[in-house]
């Protein structure tokens, strides 16, 4: 068995059914020591890849959620100012030499680890998930690039901290901003698409307890057809999981058995008013006929 | 996992593969670059390692592996397989893979470059752009000439673009349009910087600074609101009815995007084309050529509603934010359904700060927005302004600066 098949199998055991290309990309991460950039529509399971990967390697998952205005302090490290001030106050008049006090308050004890530092200081190689990197500012992206190539951090008061272990890095992007070529070039790239019917049915079976095979297949087909409709927010895998769970929850065995309930449960799939209007009862009925 | 040391220079000296393979791979990388892939030396080195890696012997696996390595965006991802197969498994690959002229063209264009390349290189597209304003019908041309003759004294700025026939005058109009766009840009940014006020106390940083003074907050640190620079998205109607104006607006767009850090431009007639990359071309002549080619309508009317739908669906998330002004340049003659147009305008209106609709026909006497499409779109337009001459473009600047 090749690396790829081993990874695919282990991911499946962790509850993530990867397609072959993704398994290849994940096996390359270890071979080439490059981060993996995942792009794709919202809800196709980009974040779940990192979670499953952490489970496969029995590694801690460290997550950095990016947002506009994210800076070094929130991503890398920060001094615990409150504690430093308390320590200073406590030592006032104690006669300790200023040098000793300084060494004390700028020691590891007063350092707050943020995700990036935590990832490279982890004893076992961690899985570092940098989520929605496109939401962060361009400056932060440049900084990230530096960390990802050197895996060492210089803290002026403390010196250079080199990595204890090299984390496996997964970046995800939703495409709200164009990422820089430099970052893209540095990373392996995988475009995550919606799963095909068989894989989605398999995912449903693996993740929704108590769902039977026939219903899973029906749901997968139905969701595929819904995705083909002209919608503003196309339902992702997370939505179809909710939908399937809701259906099993009300004890449905066959989608055609109770179209009215199916229509009601569409709230788990369609998340905007416009999309609800785009799928009136007649359309749903037509889609349900195709499922068989 | 290897130690950190190996990672700072992540690759051992590659050599597993023979010289022949290396040369072939270099050719492949060159072909990829010609197709707009951003790949560097370290990618090639890694590719050599992959070629030598066990378990990647068969074609599909190797292809998937190299795709993960070389592709860095969705468009790359989608065309990689075809390029890979063409290069490694077909004859006459050079001819079919090379598309140097088409670098960084949007994905909407067909991949098979063989068919398009000669067209791109051969016929001077410049002449096409330049020809457009003069390509009116005979009667119109006559009128234009008469007009030009009678209005020598008129300032160029006030002349309707339709009526500029003299090539030299036209060149001047182009240059003015470009300069105007640049000046607008400069004033806009300065304004954005000056507007950075509003101070709240940043407690965390104040505390940080106070450590050095034993906890006494001598220096107060304020938090400033970061202002997003204004972003400009231009949608230009390049349909037949707009043809007298397209060439001038192409220049205007180039001028505006040339220095706007955040801007995007699209051209639409029956479909929508992203021309941002083409316009950002450094050499203005090349940019004009590429844009001129893309802007050519394929006939069959204008589908504004559908073009906007495409924009909302595929480009809006990437290009719009809360400080975005959308500039639509169109005469509003829509051959699609007005309902669709209204719906898409409403969606667009929700996502951006302002919609400015420039309509060259407002400059005409007795014009009223009667076209069904125009009527449907108007409720969502923040500024409906004429754009038939340079004066009207100039008049736009103070409005944009206030956004």
DSSP letters for B5-50:
HHHHS--PPP--S-HHHHHHHHHHHHHHHHTT----HHHHHHHHHH
Rounded to whole angstroms, how far apart are CA atoms A83 and A159? Answer: 20
Rounded to whole angstroms, how far apart are CA atoms A191 and B39? Answer: 17
Task: Give the residue from B248, B239, B256 showing the smallest Cα distance to B327.
Answer: B256
Give 3-state DSSP helix, strand, coil % of chain B, rounded to 5. Answer: 60, 10, 30
The answer to whether position A91 is within a domain reads no
Residue B323 predicted with pLDDT over 80:
no
Residue contacts between A and B (CB atoms, under 8 Å): 116
Can you give the pLDDT of all 292 residues of chain A as single tens digits?
A: 678 888 889 988 888 888 888 999 999 998 888 999 999 888 888 889 999 999 999 999 999 999 877 888 889 988 888 888 888 888 887 888 888 888 888 888 899 999 999 999 999 999 999 999 988 888 888 888 888 888 888 888 888 888 899 999 999 998 777 788 888 988 999 999 899 999 999 999 988 888 989 999 999 999 999 998 878 788 999 899 999 999 999 988 888 888 888 999 999 999 888 888 888 888 888 888 888 6
The complex's ipTM?
0.77
DSSP class of A180: P
Rounded to whole angstroms, how far apart are CA atoms B403 and B396? Answer: 12
Structure confidence at residue B159 (pLDDT): 62
Best A98, A188, A227 member to test B by mutation, with max B CBs in 10 Å, is A188
**Are B251 and B285 a contacting pair, CB within 8 Å?**
no
Residue B326 predicted with pLDDT over 50:
yes
Best A93, A189, A231 member to test B by mutation, with max B CBs in 10 Å, is A189
Please indicate whether, in this complex, the C-beta atoms of B73 and A184 are within 8 angstroms of each other: yes
> Lowest-confidence range among A78-87, B229-238, B342-351?
B229-238
Determine the distance in angstroms separating the CA of B13 from the nearest CA of chain A, rounded to an integer. 13
The answer to whether position A89 is within a domain reads no
Same domain assignment for residues A244 and A203 = yes
Structure confidence at residue B223 (pLDDT): 66
**B8 part of contact set with chain A, CB < 8 Å:** yes
Task: Give the residue from B233, B298, B312 showing the smallest Cα distance to B269.
Answer: B298
Specify the DSSP element, H or E, that contains B374.
helix B372-377
A66: domain CATH number is: 3.40.50.300
Cβ burial of B235 (10 Å; 0-12, 13-18, 19+) is buried
Structure confidence at residue B164 (pLDDT): 61
The answer to whether position A81 is within a domain reads no
Same domain assignment for residues A211 and A233 = yes
Q: Which CATH class is domain B178-185+228-401?
A: alpha beta
3-state DSSP of A35-46:
CEEEECCCCCCH
Token digits of residue A240? 């179809």
Same domain assignment for residues A169 and A262 = no
Q: Which of A156, A191, A226 is the last residue of a domain?
A: A191
Same domain assignment for residues A205 and A60 = no
Same domain assignment for residues A66 and A164 = yes
Cβ-proximal residues to B60 (8 Å cutoff; 6+ apart), any chain: none
Rounded to whole angstroms, how far apart are CA atoms B106 and A235? Answer: 27
Q: What is the largest CA-CA distance in chain B?
A: 85
Q: Which band of pLDDT confidence, cut at 50, 70 and 90, is reported for residue B95? A: very low
Residue B314 predicted with pLDDT over 60:
yes
The answer to whether position A142 is within a domain reads yes
Phi/psi class of residue A37: alpha, beta or left (left: φ > 0; alpha: ψ in -120 to 50)? beta
The answer to whether position A180 is within a domain reads yes
Q: Which of A168, A191, A214 is the last residue of a domain?
A: A191
Rounded to whole angstroms, how far apart are CA atoms A246 and A173? Answer: 29
The pTM of the full predicted model, rounded to 2 decimals, is: 0.64
> Taking residues B1-22, what's their average pLDDT?
53
Best A3, A20, A21 member to test B by mutation, with max B CBs in 10 Å, is A21
Mean residue pLDDT of chain B comes to 70
Total number of domains constituting chain A: 2
CA distances B68 to A29, A127, A145, B72, Å, are: 10, 19, 19, 8
Same domain assignment for residues A175 and A215 = no
The answer to whether position A95 is within a domain reads no
Same domain assignment for residues A153 and A207 = no
Q: Which band of pLDDT confidence, cut at 50, 70 and 90, is reported for residue B147? A: very low
Token digits of residue A123? 């004893």
* Rg (chain A; Cα; Å): 24
Rounded to whole angstroms, how far apart are CA atoms A69 and B99? Answer: 40
The answer to whether position A108 is within a domain reads no
> Taking residues B376-401, what's their average pLDDT?
79
Structure confidence at residue A54 (pLDDT): 93
**A180 part of contact set with chain B, CB < 8 Å:** no
Collect all residues of chain A within an 8 Å Cβ-Cβ radius of residue B61. 2, 4, 24
Cβ-proximal residues to A237 (8 Å cutoff; 6+ apart), any chain: A43, A44, A45, A194, A195, A200, A203
β-bridge partners, B395: none
Task: Give the residue from A20, A14, B393 showing the smallest Cα distance to A5.
Answer: A20
* Rg (chain B; Cα; Å): 26
How many of the other CB atoms lie within 10 Å of CB of A120?
25
Rounded to whole angstroms, how far apart are CA atoms B180 and B390? Answer: 8
Going through B221-336 in order, the beta strands assigned E by DSSP cover 222-224, 231-237, 263-268, 272-274, 324-329
SS3 B301: coil
Determine the distance in angstroms separating the CA of B215 from the nearest CA of chain A, rounded to an integer. 5
Please indicate whether, in this complex, the C-beta atoms of B73 and A92 are within 8 angstroms of each other: no
Same domain assignment for residues A169 and A59 = yes
Q: What are phi and psi of B234, to 5 degrees?
A: -110, 130
Collect all residues of chain B within an 8 Å Cβ-Cβ radius of residue A84. 211
> Taking residues B328-342, what's their average pLDDT?
85
Query: A67-119: per-residue pLDDT in tens?
Result: 877 888 889 988 888 888 888 888 887 888 888 888 888 888 899 999 999 99
Distance of CA A203 to the CA centre of its chain: 17
H helical segments located in chain A = 3-13, 20-32, 46-56, 72-75, 81-91, 98-105, 115-121, 138-150, 181-186, 197-207, 213-228, 237-249, 259-265, 273-278, 281-291
Please indicate whether, in this complex, the C-beta atoms of A177 and B226 are within 8 angstroms of each other: no
Same domain assignment for residues A187 and A229 = no
> Lowest-confidence range among B64-68, B104-108, B129-133, B395-399?
B129-133
**A228 part of contact set with chain B, CB < 8 Å:** no
> Lowest-confidence range among A66-80, B178-192, B278-292, B357-371?
B178-192
Residue for token digits 């769970």? A245
Q: Which domain holds residue A20?
A: 3-76+114-191
Which residue from A20, A33, A81 is facing B64, i.e. has the nearest CB? A20
Rounded to whole angstroms, how far apart are CA atoms A117 and A169? Answer: 13
Phi/psi class of residue A186: alpha, beta or left (left: φ > 0; alpha: ψ in -120 to 50)? alpha
Same domain assignment for residues A214 and A174 = no
What does DSSP say about strands A188-191 and A168-173: parallel, antiparallel, or unpaired? unpaired
Structure confidence at residue B34 (pLDDT): 85
What is the sign, positive or negative, of the torsion defined by CA atoms of A235, A236, A238, A241? positive
Residue B105 predicted with pLDDT over 50:
no
Residues of chain B with CATH 3.40.50.410: 178-185+228-401
What share of chain B has pLDDT > 70, as a percent?
61
Q: Which of A136, A168, A191 is the last residue of a domain?
A: A191
Token digits of residue B379? 């409720």
Structure confidence at residue B86 (pLDDT): 86
């Amino acid at each position: 068995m090749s690396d790829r098949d081993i990874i695919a199998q282990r991911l499946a055991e962790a509850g993530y059914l990867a397609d072959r290309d993704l398994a290849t990309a994940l096996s390359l991460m270890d071979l080439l020591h490059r981060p993996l950039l995942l792009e794709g529509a919202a809800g196709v399971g980009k974040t779940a890849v990192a979670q499953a990967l952490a489970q496969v390697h029995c590694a801690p998952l460290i997550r950095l959620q990016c947002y506009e205005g994210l800076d070094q302090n929130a991503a890398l490290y920060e001094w615990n100012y409150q504690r430093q001030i308390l320590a200073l106050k406590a030592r006032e008049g104690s006669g300790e030499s200023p040098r000793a006090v300084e060494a004390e308050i700028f020691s590891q004890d007063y350092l707050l680890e943020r995700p990036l530092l935590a990832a490279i200081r982890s004893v076992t190689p961690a899985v570092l998930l940098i989520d929605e990197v496109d939401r962060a500012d361009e400056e932060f992206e440049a900084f990230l690039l530096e960390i990802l190539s050197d895996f060492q951090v210089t803290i002026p008061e403390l010196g250079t901290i080199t990595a204890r272990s090299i984390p496996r890095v997964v970046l995800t992007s939703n495409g709200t901003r164009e990422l820089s070529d430099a970052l893209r070039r540095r990373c392996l790239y995988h475009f995550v698409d919606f799963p095909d019917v068989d894989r989605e049915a398999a995912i449903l079976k693996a993740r929704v307890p108590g769902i039977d095979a026939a219903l899973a297949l029906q749901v997968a087909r139905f969701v595929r057809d819904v995705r083909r409709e002209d919608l503003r927010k196309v339902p992702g895998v997370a939505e179809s999981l909710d939908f399937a769970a809701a259906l099993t929850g009300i004890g449905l065995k066959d989608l055609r058995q109770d179209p009215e309930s199916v229509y009601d449960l569409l709230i788990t799939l369609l998340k905007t008013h416009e999309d609800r209007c785009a799928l009136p009862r007649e359309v749903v009925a037509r889609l349900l006929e195709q499922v068989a | 996992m290897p130690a950190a040391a190996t990672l700072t220079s992540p690759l051992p000296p590659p050599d597993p593969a023979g010289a022949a393979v290396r040369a072939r791979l270099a050719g492949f990388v060159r072909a990829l670059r010609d197709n707009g892939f951003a790949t560097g030396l370290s990618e090639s080195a890694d590719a050599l390692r992959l070629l030598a890696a066990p378990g990647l012997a068969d074609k599909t696996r190797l292809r998937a592996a190299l795709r993960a390595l070389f592709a860095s965006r969705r468009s790359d991802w989608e065309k990689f397989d075809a390029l890979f197969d063409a290069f490694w498994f077909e004859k006459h690959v050079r001819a079919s893979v090379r598309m140097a002229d088409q670098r960084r063209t949007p994905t909407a264009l067909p991949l098979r470059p063989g068919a398009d390349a000669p067209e791109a290189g051969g016929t001077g597209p410049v002449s096409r752009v330049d020809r457009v304003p003069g390509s009116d019908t005979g009667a119109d041309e006559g009128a234009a000439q008469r007009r030009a003759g009678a209005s020598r004294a008129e300032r160029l700025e006030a002349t309707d673009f339709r009526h500029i026939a003299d090539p030299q005058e036209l060149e001047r109009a182009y240059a003015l349009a470009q300069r105007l766009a640049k000046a607008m840009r400069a004033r806009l940014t300065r304004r954005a910087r000056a507007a950075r006020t509003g101070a709240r106390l940043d407690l965390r940083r104040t505390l940080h600074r106070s450590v050095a003074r034993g906890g006494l907050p001598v220096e107060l640190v304020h938090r400033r609101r970061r202002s997003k620079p204004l972003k400009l998205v231009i949608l230009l109607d390049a349909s037949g009815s707009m043809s007298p104006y397209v060439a001038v607006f192409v220049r205007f767009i180039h001028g505006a995007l040339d220095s706007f850090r955040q801007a995007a431009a699209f051209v639409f007639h029956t479909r929508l084309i992203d021309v941002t990359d083409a316009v950002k071309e450094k050499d203005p002549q090349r940019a004009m050529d590429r844009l001129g080619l893309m802007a050519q309508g394929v006939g069959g009317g204008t589908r504004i509603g559908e073009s906007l739908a495409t924009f909302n669906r595929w480009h809006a998330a990437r290009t719009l934010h809360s400080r975005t002004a959308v500039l639509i340049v169109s005469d509003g003659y829509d051959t699609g359904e007005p309902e669709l147009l209204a719906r898409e305008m409403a969606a667009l209106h929700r996502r951006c700060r302002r919609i400015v609709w420039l309509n060259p026909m407002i400059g005409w006497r007795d014009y009223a927005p009667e076209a069904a499409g125009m009527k449907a779109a108007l409720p969502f337009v923040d500024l409906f302004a004429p754009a038939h001459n340079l004066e009207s473009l100039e008049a736009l600047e103070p409005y944009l600066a206030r956004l």
